[in-house]
Amino acid sequence: MLWKAKGEFVDWAEENEIQMCFIQPGKPNQNAFIERFNKCYGEEVQDANLFNTLTEVQAATDEWVMDYNEL
């Protein structure tokens, strides 16, 4: 699903009874899981490959996510 504006995402979340939760400023430990994911993805997929198409990115990502989720 593509969002044209942040407001659309917020509206969608509210319509689907999804509560938006944000970390507190200065509390990076509340965001540790996603920071680890972003670091690993960046190093193991983005930095390790040279992609020519979005299809190549998706294929590498799909394979990596399967490995990442099994650790």
Q: How far apart are CA 45 and CA 69, in angstroms?
A: 15
pLDDT tens readout for residues 20-49:
887 778 777 777 878 888 899 999 999 999
Structure token digits, residue 8: 């659309």
- Residue with the larger pLDDT of the pair 65 and 7: 65
Where in the sequence is the domain holding 40, given as residue range(s)? 23-70
Q: Is residue 54 part of a domain?
A: yes
Question: Where residue 2 falls among pLDDT bands split at 50, 70, 90?
Answer: low
pLDDT tens readout for residues 47-58:
999 999 999 999
Q: Is residue 46 part of a domain?
A: yes
C-beta of residue 66 within 8 angstroms of C-beta of residue 45: no
Q: Is residue 65 part of a domain?
A: yes
Please tell me the total count of domains within the chain. Answer: 1
Q: Is residue 15 part of a domain?
A: no
Half-sphere exposure of 62 (CA within 13 A, CB side): 6
